[in-house]
């Protein structure tokens, strides 16, 4: 149960951060920054879902959020 609460907390923080980036980039089509901001939200939602089933495995999914710069790099590379 604690892992799920923690996951929800991480998801809320990542979502608020992504919303701030979306507001800041309004009108600018910058897929690199958007992917970097939205990737952690996706990871934390998946990690929280995993925490509902196997709480001890969720921490390994949450660590994937540090791959956000890589997701942004992939998005920028796709644009070229």
End-to-end CA distance of the chain: 44
* Predicted confidence band of residue 23 (pLDDT cuts 50, 70, 90): very high
Integer Cα distance of 21 and 60 in angstroms: 26
H helices within the chain, ranges in order? 2-24, 31-53, 58-62, 68-79
Q: Express each pLDDT in 25-77 by its tens digit.
A: 888 878 888 889 999 999 999 999 999 999 999 989 899 999 998 988 998 88
Q: pTM here?
A: 0.85
CB-based contact 4:48 (threshold 8 Å): yes
């Amino acid at each position: 149960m604690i892992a799920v609460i923690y996951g929800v907390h991480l998801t809320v923080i990542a979502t608020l951060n992504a919303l701030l980036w979306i507001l800041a980039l309004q009108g600018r089509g910058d897929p690199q920054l958007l992917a970097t901001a939205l990737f952690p939200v996706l990871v934390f939602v998946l990690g929280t879902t995993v925490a509902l089933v196997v709480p001890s495995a969720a921490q390994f999914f949450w660590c994937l959020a540090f791959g956000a710069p890589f997701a942004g790099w992939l998005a920028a590379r796709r644009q070229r």
